[in-house]
Amino acid sequence: MSERDGRDGPFVYEYAVLRVVPRVERGEYFNAGVLVYCRAHSFVAARTHLDETKLLALDPAADAPGVRAALRAVEGVCAGGAAAGQAAGDDAGRRFRWLIAPRSTVVQPGPVHTGLTVDPVAETARLLDLLVR
């Protein structure tokens, strides 16, 4: 149900694509996940999929297990609890804002976009299929 009017969604959500940048100095990247936040549901989640063929095409010496661990860490922060580390006590919105902050690492967030959905869980899966797989 909507916070304001008592109707069922759709609800506004925000999302960012998670990019893998194997060699930051080259600026080449590929999509490896999505990060979704829906305030109306206090929902934040990340779904990831690492295409090792793309990773090794951009950097044959890339640390695939390290990249996979970095992607899992983003999923852990979204999940909250012990897996979120210091962010465990933060609400969903704060965890999302922290994860979308620009950084110069192998896993980087892209720009934030918005949409409407009645089911943020299903939307996360849809965006993963559309933008990553």
pLDDT digits (tens, 9 = 90+) for 30-70: 999 999 999 999 999 999 999 999 999 999 999 999 999 99
What domain count does the chain have? 1
Give CA–CA dist 60/42, Å, rounded: 40
Residue 87 belongs to what domain range? 47-118
pLDDT band at 19 (very low <50, low <70, confident <90, very high): very high
Nearest C-alpha neighbor of 40 from the set 76, 81, 75, 92: 92
Residue 82, classed as helix, strand or coil, is: helix
Q: What is the pLDDT of residues 103-129, one digit of tens each?
A: 878 999 999 999 999 999 999 999 999
Give a yes or no: residue 39 inside a domain: no
Give a yes or no: residue 19 inside a domain: no
More confident residue, 3 or 14: 14
Give a yes or no: residue 80 inside a domain: yes
